[in-house]
Amino acid sequence: MKQLFTSQKNIIYLNSGSLSLTPLQTIKAVQKFEEEYENNPTAHLFRSWLDLWEVQKKVASHFQADPKQFFFRSNVTQPLNEFILGAPLPPGSEILTTNQEYGAIFNICQYRVQTDGLKLRTVEFPKKIEFQNLTEKSLIDLIVSAFRPETKMLVLSHIYTGHGLILPIFEICKEARKRGITTIIDGAHTPGAFPLDFRQFSDVDYFAGNLHKWWMGPKGTAFGWVNPLRNNDLKPLQAGWTTFESYPPFNELAEGSRFAQKMFMLGCQNFSPFYALEETLNFWESQKTENILGRLKTLGHHLVSEMNRADFSRFGANDLRLHGPLYTFEIPLKLQNRPYHELMLKILNETQVQVAIVILEEKLHLRLAPHIYNTKEEITGAVSRLKQFFR
Ligand SMILES: Cc1ncc(COP(=O)(O)O)c(C=O)c1O
């Protein structure tokens, strides 16, 4: 498997939670498209959007989604802005979210409530001790019991950045739908870490996923998905060629769907990372989704058992089935008094292991996120170096 990726020089890469490595065949495809484009940028530009629609159809179908409800963006922050700022909310209503969301996405919620004079309320997750005993049922109860009549929008991560916990979003969104609450799911970590199938999403209103994390797509690739029930509600934040009836090639996009055209990624840009998604798709099809997800689990369980043996205390639910491929551990008190990025760099310099440092309950924690290009031997080696470092 390792030979399918760029070989890491002198480091063990254990932070696929921020960005994964991309298979060599995809990197080569990006380069090939860039070179071809340079041969005649004008000729390429005018067919770019129709070519992009062809890729959109393939990637959407891979996730069993209707391509007309699916649109590309460069990262997940973009569609989440479009959803949180663009979905309608009546005066006096409340956005409900949690204290575990990714900071940038929490800020979008804050921006919406400040702009429109609304309220923002956060559900507090239990502290470490009770956190360990979380179950699917207790997670559903935690969120659903926080709904109030004024709650009109719910913004939740599917897989949490801090500790990898997976929320049972389908059950939660079903309860929200019954109460007329609009649901927006931050799926930054979902594609490639979870068997994503949009046929299960009938109760979800809006979803955004990254392709450059666990799905191993080129850097700068992500998508948004909108439930067809919401096509007339969402107010696009940007306008361009397709906002009104247009002429070729724009009116030929997406089989004429006005919604898909309005949400399409328009304007001149670097199209190569998106064209190269087809190569990532080939990678998933040749390596088989179930094998990749199985390997993620095997490596994760190996990591957790090695970290246990090295006496690291994990922050997370005891039931590993509730977790995606990110695993988080406590850090000794003596290392708490420095900024997180300095500690990350110090660990890299002294151990040659690339980790992430995250903040949970106001303390720095160590987050490790292996992917299929890591080996069990590497993980064992990394754990022994980390043990030495934290001693
Ligand atoms: C849960 C979550 N949401 C959103 C993001 C933002 O992703 P991006 O920078 O690709 O938009 C991240 C990035 O780590 C994340 O973990």
* pLDDT at site 1: 86
- Average pLDDT for 251-270: 94
The contacts of residue 270 (CB under 8 Å, 6+ apart) are 34, 220
Residue 74: DSSP 8-state: S
Distance CA 157, CA 102 (A): 8
Would you say 221 and 273 are in contact if contact means Cβ atoms under 8 Å apart?
yes
Residue with tokens 């720095």: 364
How many CB atoms sit inside 10 A of residue 242's CB?
20
Alpha-carbon separation of residue 327 from 52, 117, 121, 324 (angstroms): 36, 38, 27, 8
The model's pLDDT over 325-382, given as tens digits with 9 standing for 90+, comes to 999 999 999 999 989 999 999 999 999 999 999 999 999 999 999 999 999 999 999 9
Alpha-carbon separation of residue 154 from 11, 87, 116, 219 (angstroms): 40, 11, 16, 28
- Where is pLDDT greater, at 8 or 248? 248
Residue limits of CATH 3.90.1150.10 in the chain? 2-16+288-390
Element (H, E) at 64: none
Q: What percent of the chain has pLDDT over 70?
A: 100
Encoding tokens for residue 269? 């840009």
Residue limits of CATH 3.40.640.10 in the chain? 29-284
Task: Give ∠ CA 365-370-375 in degrees, rounded to 5.
Answer: 135
In angstroms, what is the span from residue 246 Cα to ligand 1's centroid? 34
Alpha-carbon separation of residue 28 from 144, 276, 283, 314 (angstroms): 46, 8, 13, 38
- Closest residue by CA, ligand 1 atom 10: 75
Candidates 390, 348, 383, 384; CA nearest to 365 is 390
Task: Give ∠ CA 245-250-256 in degrees, rounded to 5.
Answer: 70
- Grade residue 129 by pLDDT with cuts at 50, 70 and 90: confident
In angstroms, what is the span from residue 215 Cα to ligand 1's centroid? 14
For domain 2-16+288-390, give the fold. Aspartate Aminotransferase, domain 1 (3.90.1150)
- Closest residue by CA, ligand 1 atom 7: 76
* pLDDT at site 151: 98
In angstroms, what is the span from residue 26 Cα to ligand 1's centroid? 22
The model's pLDDT over 159-187, given as tens digits with 9 standing for 90+, comes to 999 999 999 999 999 999 999 999 999 99
Would you say 183 and 203 are in contact if contact means Cβ atoms under 8 Å apart?
yes
User: Does 7 have pLDDT greater than 90?
Assistant: no
- Average pLDDT for 60-76: 98
- Grade residue 9 by pLDDT with cuts at 50, 70 and 90: confident
* pLDDT at site 8: 80
* pLDDT at site 37: 95
User: Does 275 have pLDDT greater than 90?
Assistant: yes
In angstroms, what is the span from residue 256 Cα to ligand 1's centroid? 32
Among 82, 102, 167, 189, name the best residue to mutate to test ligand 1's pocket (greatest count of ligand atoms within 8 A of Cβ): 102
Among 101, 167, 186, 340, name the best residue to mutate to test ligand 1's pocket (greatest count of ligand atoms within 8 A of Cβ): 186
What SS3 state is found at 225? strand
Element (H, E) at 190: none
CA dihedral 257, 262, 266, 272 (to 10 degrees): -50
- Grade residue 2 by pLDDT with cuts at 50, 70 and 90: confident
Which atom number of ligand 1 is nearest to the Cα of residue 160? 1
Ligand 1 lining (C-beta closer than 6 Å): 18, 75-77, 102, 104-105, 157, 161, 186, 188-189, 210
The domain made up of 29-284 is a member of CATH 3.40.109.10: no
Average pLDDT across the chain, whole number: 96
Element (H, E) at 79: helix 77-86
- Grade residue 122 by pLDDT with cuts at 50, 70 and 90: very high
Task: Give ∠ CA 191-367-282 in degrees, rounded to 5.
Answer: 25
In angstroms, what is the span from residue 102 Cα to ligand 1's centroid? 7
In angstroms, what is the span from residue 90 Cα to ligand 1's centroid? 28
Which atom number of ligand 1 is nearest to the Cα of residue 18? 14
* pLDDT at site 218: 98
Candidates 194, 274, 195; CA nearest to 26 is 274
Complete DSSP assignment for 356-371: EEEEETTEEEEEEB--
